[in-house]
A = this chain, B = another copy of it.
């Protein structure tokens, strides 16, 4: 049963099957966020989704397959540490996205656990995170380089280093925020860094 072919015109069993698959992925998301990838079992995910293990196995060949679907769902939701849309100013995007992330602590927690777990060589998410960090660093570096060309980057700031710094600071401060949400303001922390490295448009 391949639910991927169910397009918008499909109805009946196909639409129902796609909805069920999506529901499993959402439950897996929560299970992984709580127990990590290695600590979770397909049996637990099936139980959380209110279906049998063999029913779940109609949709996914294994836990690895479920993880990849969870990471796709995360990308689809566009949450977490992210790249700006075409015409949104870079620094405004970063701060707005960091503020928006405060509404989705479960996603942030999942991402924190998986990105750390996936460092190990045999983790099925390793390639995903390797590619994600590479892509994000390239995109942010291009943004800082463009700001430099506008005369808005402080002298001596390296666009590549600033790119890695924003991503690192963002993920690190979100982890502190997960522990003590009343005492850490991730958006304000990122804004303070951007204020250090960027000159305001009028002074540039």
Q: A112-B116, A133-B180, A179-B133 are in contact. Are A168 and B168 (CB under 8 A)?
A: yes
A168 and B196 contacting across the interface, CB-CB below 8 Å = no
Residues of B within 8 A of A107 (CB): none
With A116-B113, A168-B168 as given contacts, are A133 and B176 in contact (CB-CB < 8 Å)? yes
A118-169, CB < 8 A from B? 119-120, 126, 129-130, 133-134, 137, 154, 156-158, 161, 164-165, 167-169
**CB pair A168 B161 closer than 8 Å:** no
What's the tally of chain A residues with a CB closer than 8 Å to chain B? 49
Which residue on chain B has the smallest CB distance to residue A108? B119
* Copies of this chain assembled into the complex: 2
Bound CA span A168–B176, Å: 7
Which residues of chain B are near A197, meaning CB under 8 Å? 196
A192 to chain B, nearest CB (A): 5
Given the complex, which residues of B lie within 8 Å of A133, measured CB to CB?
176, 179-180
Distance in Å: Cβ of A162 to nearest Cβ of chain B:
8
Within 8 A of B (CB), among A159-204: 161, 164-165, 167-173, 175-176, 178-180, 184, 188-189, 192-193, 195-197
Chain B positions within 8 Å of A157 at CB level = 192, 196
Specify the chain B residue showing the minimal Cβ separation from A196: B196
A112-B116, A164-B184, A172-B170 are known contacts. Are A130 and B179 too (CB-CB below 8 A)? yes
| 18 A/B residue pairs, CB under 8 Å, sorted by A | A33-B120, A36-B37, A36-B113, A116-B116, A133-B176, A133-B179, A154-B196, A157-B192, A164-B176, A165-B173, A165-B193, A168-B169, A168-B171, A168-B173, A168-B175, A168-B189, A170-B172, A196-B196
From A38, A134, A172, A176, residue with most partner B Cβ within 10 Å = A172
Which residues of chain B have C-beta atoms less than 8 A from A26's C-beta?
A: none
Which residue of chain B lies nearest to A40 when distances are taken between CB atoms in the complex?
B38
